[in-house]
Copies of this chain bind each other. A is one copy, B any other.
Amino acid sequence: ATPTTAAQNVVIDRALLNAFKALPARFEDPKNPITPEKVELGRMLYFDTRLSKNQDVSCNSCHDLNKFGVDGKPFSTGHKKQLGGRNSPTVYNSGGHLLQFWDGRAANLEEQAKGPILNPVEMAMPSAERVVETVKSIPGYVTAFQKAFPGEADPVTYDNLAKAIGAFERQLVTPSRFDKFLAGDDKALSEAEKVGLKKFLDQGCQTCHNGAAIGGSLQKLGLVVPFQSKDQGRFDLTKKEADRMIFRVPTLRNVAKTAPYFHDGSVKDLQTAVKLMAQHQFGKQISDDDAKSIVTFLDSLTGELPKSYIAKPKLPASGPKTPKPDPS
């Protein structure tokens, strides 16, 4: 059977595309200007397992940059193979989210980066002071912090560590053919992808999945049909009724590569995720063909990984005082 959905010359109302934005080269934040020195340092820290208690977990363990920034598991394993309670979102393009984490509890990437290192089920470091101590024990890092934060008397701080990681992440962007299409190139998407895009727009998915990240604001999961979940999203953070089942809308960029889906990683395939969205957010049952067609469009959001930018750097050698792994 040939896909009949791939009709010729589907016309997209370009005004509707204003809901999206082409990816910028980097997500700037004037509070943390990006410099090559910060990025270089941030890249090393991102890959460094010495930022974890047992020196066996790094950011890259859960957000594998060669795997579109995820680990492919419903829940990640951190320190002592403990399972976290939420699916690891991708770090690619996350600078385009209005807020970070599934419940939006961090305002930006720099604030976000301070979380996992101290989280007992993730990297499990006992305190920010301990992290700073560890970094200071590694001579190559001391030099790298000095270069990244010139003129500061005591550049090795937890805040600066977060800034370096944030600066590195701000350039984790993956432009795709969809960006060319947004820029005006009608041929950048295939007819089948345009059919899917039209269905996406007709359903109104872009009221929640919009902007450069194609996601990023806070919304209720289960707006129409309740979504069963022990995790109540932002409510678990604030205990305010208004926040019950409010989750940060995830980016749809690279979504074909970031299974399993939803905050609980409960859904394995994208077509099912799309059908569940239509059902829970709009109260609509969409056909398998329509869901497939939307998936075809979503595939066009798979971008190119910046191979050399994400290559694992050589990490500076430990010094005599660098703590040993602590498996406890």
Q: Which A residues lie at the B interface, using CB under 8 A?
A: 13, 15-16, 18-19, 21, 24, 27-31, 95-98, 107-108, 204, 206-208, 210-213, 216-220, 222-226, 234, 238-243, 246, 281, 283
User: Cβ of A239 and Cβ of B30 under 8 Å apart?
Assistant: yes
Q: Which 3 residue pairs are nearest across A and B when measured between Cβ atoms?
A: A207-B207, A15-B283, A30-B239
For A224, list chain B residues within 8 Å (CB): 15-16, 18-19
A-side interface mostly: loop
User: Cβ of A242 and Cβ of B213 under 8 Å apart?
Assistant: yes
User: Cβ of A207 and Cβ of B210 under 8 Å apart?
Assistant: no
For A246, list chain B residues within 8 Å (CB): 98, 217
For A242, list chain B residues within 8 Å (CB): 27, 95-98, 211-213, 216
Residue of B nearest to A246 (CB): B98
Residue of B nearest to A17 (CB): B224
For A28, list chain B residues within 8 Å (CB): 240-241
User: Cβ of A27 and Cβ of B240 under 8 Å apart?
Assistant: yes
For A21, list chain B residues within 8 Å (CB): 241
For A210, list chain B residues within 8 Å (CB): 220, 223
Cα separation A281 to B212 with both chains bound (whole Å): 17
6 A-B pairs in the complex with CB atoms less than 8 angstroms apart: A19-B223, A24-B241, A31-B239, A95-B242, A108-B240, A217-B218
For A208, list chain B residues within 8 Å (CB): 207
User: Which listed residue (B27, B204, B234) contacts A207, Cβ 8 A?
Assistant: B204
Residue of B nearest to A31 (CB): B239
Cα separation A29 to B237 with both chains bound (whole Å): 11
User: Cβ of A225 and Cβ of B98 under 8 Å apart?
Assistant: no
Assuming A210-B223, A218-B217, is B18 touching A243 (CB within 8 A)?
A: no
User: Cβ of B241 and Cβ of A223 under 8 Å apart?
Assistant: no
Cα separation A308 to B46 with both chains bound (whole Å): 58
